[in-house]
């Protein structure tokens, strides 16, 4: 009986398949109307810029329609390698990023491990809460705080001078040789607590039984960190490492733009800044798009490379 | 034997002390710069030029704040920031939630295609220049709407919303449908009230990023009246940074004697206040949000 009804309805559907589809579409007309704005938004704001990347291979002129300008092949790409600023830009981008990877990547892990050793729960919570704060402030505000401190009369400058770390009391942000360090240290200062959250969560997920067993075996605090905590959060570290390597080409644009000035230009011009100058400020849209495209391709390759290496070494990876 | 266990105990204690000191110094390094800014914002500008103000204002005054409120440019910028944060957050959360609700219906025709279209946007983007050219073509350049429309939707947040919408019992929607409500009315009257926690979380995310953004003002806006406060500050901090710090001549702004530096500090304080005000909530929801993000990602 039920089978008959089902068979009939299937027959009916195949006969008037189009009709029922239309009916179904009509019955969900409100839902479709609700989904549509999102789809239209994505097509306009995500897909049209993707198509617009073709100007990297053209000689784009803002007053002419995009299809009427001539194709120039890879000219803009080869121009970038010949650019007199090419070496500077590459050196600064990798310099800042590798320094950031070397110092800024382990810092939150160490912070999380140390925080985990604090037994006073309230104090630990307080430290955590305070340490997130700079993450929510903009680089403009932090730049406004840091800039006067790094001036020739600022107290960071004075302190470093008195400790004989720097030879003279100068505008630290005006000296190209200090810019990379300032960028990396101020970034750690802003993001230390925030980046540690994910490690703290990972550490909190480790079974206490492991530590109890280790205590019975006579392991001290440092042995527990080395043989239990670190191996247990290895997967998290691996995934974040892959992401960090993938963003080597994205030096923190918001930060660099605030901290750079005409005096430190030679060590603060990174890829993002170069693209911004060439494109928005000088109007060389095709050239800037080509450099942006090179950046994206290199980023993606680094991400894939880091992913496969970490996968081999630690068995955990992003994808 | 006994001696060794005793010495281990002692070394643990020493480590604890060092660790606590380290934690305290992290807190100090985080809070002191803000405190320094507060102290200087409340100190007389000309007096501050003598230096040496670290812990407490030497010549207390609220003139810096009065001068800030007397400067039309700054007031305009605050207004732009408030408007873009309010409007930007409401439209973003509403649109993203609405689309998310529609896409959470498994029988929605074309759902698979919609999801593919969205997922691609998570991984590929056109970059700065193509986006800039699009903004120009759309006539959003130097237009207040550039803060609102290009940031109105996010597929990533759509996925977060969807995870929550799925948890809502279907029976609630069904009973509303019996009463003759259509899908949009159900979304407005049933879904939104039931999803307040997730809506609030995402609204906080979006609100903070709107409030803190200075880059859009730098790239897309020429008209000084349309600059948000962060871009205004960026211009006075980064572009004329060194001269401003060294500027010794006090100014009279709105009849108050201030220096550009002391006014800068008070503007920074006013700009940070809204973030501090929502910080307890941020703290609570962001940590959750970040963990959701890490699980999804």
The C-alpha atoms of residue B254 and residue B123 are separated, in whole angstroms, by 51
- Across the interface, which of A34, A42, A138 has its CB nearest the CB of B98? A34
pTM, entire model: 0.87
Interface test with A, best of B104, B129, B135, B142 (most A CBs within 10 A): B129
Contact B44, B63 (CB under 8 A): yes
Q: Does A288 touch chain B (CB under 8 A)?
A: yes
ipTM, interface predicted TM-score of the complex:
0.86
Q: Does B105 touch chain A (CB under 8 A)?
A: yes
Q: What share of chain B is helix, strand, coil (3-state, %, to 5)?
A: 75, 5, 20
> Which residue spans of chain A are classified as CATH 1.10.3720.10?
75-314
User: Using a CB-CB distance cutoff of 8 angstroms, which residues of chain B are in contact with residue A316?
Assistant: none
Q: Which of residues 68-97 of A touch B (CB under 8 A)?
A: none
Q: Which of residues 129-168 of A touch B (CB under 8 A)?
A: 129-134, 136-149, 151, 153, 155
- Across the interface, which of B54, B99, B128 has its CB nearest the CB of A279? B128
Tell me the domains of chain B and their CATH numbers.
Answer: 70-297 (1.10.3720.10)
- Across the interface, which of A42, A171, A254 has its CB nearest the CB of B118? A42
Contact B80, A13 (CB under 8 A): no
Q: Which superfamily does A75-314 belong to?
A: MetI-like (1.10.3720.10)
Q: Does A24 touch chain B (CB under 8 A)?
A: yes
Q: State how far the alpha carbon of A238 is from the alpha carbons of A105, A109, A184, A307, A311, in Å.
A: 11, 12, 21, 9, 8
Q: State how far the alpha carbon of A223 is from the alpha carbons of A124, A185, A218, A227, B21, in Å.
A: 22, 30, 9, 6, 22
pLDDT tens for chain A, 319 residues long, are 455 555 555 555 555 677 888 888 888 999 999 999 999 999 999 999 999 999 999 998 888 887 888 899 899 999 999 999 999 999 999 999 999 999 999 999 999 999 999 988 899 989 998 998 999 999 999 999 998 889 888 888 888 998 988 888 888 888 899 999 999 999 999 999 999 989 998 998 899 999 999 989 988 888 999 999 999 999 999 999 998 998 888 888 999 999 998 888 999 999 999 999 999 999 999 999 999 999 999 999 999 999 898 888 887 777 7
Give the tens place of pLDDT for each residue, B232-254: 999 887 765 444 444 444 555 55
pLDDT at B250: 52
Per-position b or e across A210-247, b if 16+ CB within 10 A of its CB: eeeeeeeeebeeeebbeebbeeebbebbbbbbbebbbe
Residue B191 CA to chain centroid, in angstroms? 26
Determine the length of chain B: 297
pLDDT exceeds cutoff 70 at B34: yes
CB contact under 8 A, A133 and B271: no
């Amino acid at each position: 009986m039920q089978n008959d009804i089902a068979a009939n309805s299937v027959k009916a559907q195949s006969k008037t398949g189009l009709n029922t589809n239309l009916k179904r579409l009509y019955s969900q007309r409100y839902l479709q109307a609700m989904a549509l704005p999102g789809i239209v938004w994505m097509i306009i704001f995500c897909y049209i810029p993707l198509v617009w990347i073709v100007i990297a291979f053209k000689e784009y002129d803002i007053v002419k329609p995009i299809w009427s300008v001539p194709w120039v092949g890879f000219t803009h790409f080869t121009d970038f390698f010949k650019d007199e600023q090419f070496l500077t830009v590459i050196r600064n981008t990798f310099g800042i990023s590798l320094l950031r990877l070397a110092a800024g990547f382990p810092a939150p892990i160490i912070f999380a491990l140390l925080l985990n050793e604090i037994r006073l729960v309230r104090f630990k919570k307080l430290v955590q809460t305070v340490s997130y704060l700079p993450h929510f402030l903009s680089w403009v505000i932090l730049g406004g705080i840091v800039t006067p401190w790094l001036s020739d009369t600022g107290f960071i400058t004075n302190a470093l001078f008195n400790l004989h770390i720097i030879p003279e009391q100068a505008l630290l942000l005006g000296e190209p040789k200090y810019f990379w360090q300032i960028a990396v240290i101020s970034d750690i200062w802003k993001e230390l607590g925030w980046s540690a959250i994910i490690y703290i969560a990972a550490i909190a997920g480790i079974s206490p039984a492991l530590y109890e067993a280790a205590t019975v075996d006579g392991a001290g605090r440092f042995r527990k960190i080395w043989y239990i905590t670190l191996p247990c959060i290895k997967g998290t570290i691996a995934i974040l490492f892959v992401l960090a390597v993938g963003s080597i080409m994205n030096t923190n644009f918001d930060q660099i733009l605030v901290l750079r000035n005409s005096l430190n230009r030679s060590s603060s011009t990174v890829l993002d800044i170069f693209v911004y100058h060439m494109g928005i400020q000088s109007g060389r849209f095709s050239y800037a798009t080509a450099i942006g495209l090179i950046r994206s391709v290199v980023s993606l390759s680094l991400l894939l490379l880091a992913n496969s290496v970490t996968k081999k070494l630690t068995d955990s990876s992003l994808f | 034997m006994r001696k060794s266990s005793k010495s281990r105990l002692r070394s643990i204690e020493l480590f604890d002390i060092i660790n606590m000191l380290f934690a305290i110094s992290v807190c100090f390094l985080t809070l002191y710069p803000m405190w320094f800014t507060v102290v200087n914002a409340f100190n007389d500008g000309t007096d501050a030029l003598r230096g040496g103000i670290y812990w407490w204002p030497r010549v207390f005054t609220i003139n810096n704040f009065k001068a800030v409120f007397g400067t039309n440019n700054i007031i305009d910028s605050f207004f732009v920031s408030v408007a873009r944060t309010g409007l930007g957050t409401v439209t973003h959360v509403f649109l993203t939630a609405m689309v998310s609700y529609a896409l959470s219906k498994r029988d929605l025709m074309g759902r698979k295609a919609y999801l593919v279209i969205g997922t691609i946007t998570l991984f590929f983007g056109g970059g700065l220049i193509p986006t800039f050219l699009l903004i120009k073509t759309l006539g959003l350049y130097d237009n207040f709407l550039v803060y609102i429309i290009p940031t109105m939707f996010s597929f990533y947040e759509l996925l977060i919303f969807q995870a929550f919408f799925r948890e809502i019992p279907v029976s609630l929607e069904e009973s509303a449908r019996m009463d003759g409500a259509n899908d949009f009315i159900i979304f407005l009257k049933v879904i939104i009230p039931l999803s307040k926690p997730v809506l609030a979380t995402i609204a906080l995310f979006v609100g903070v990023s709107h409030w803190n953004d200075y880059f859009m003002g730098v790239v897309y806006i020429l008209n000084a009246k349309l600059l948000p406060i962060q871009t205004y500050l960026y211009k006075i901090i980064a572009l004329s940074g060194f001269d401003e710090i060294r500027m010794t001549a006090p100014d009279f702004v709105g009849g108050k004697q201030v220096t550009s530096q002391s006014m800068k500090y008070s503007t920074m304080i006013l700009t940070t206040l809204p973030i501090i005000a929502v910080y307890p909530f941020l703290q609570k929801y962001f940590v959750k949000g970040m963990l959701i993000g890490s699980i999804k990602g």
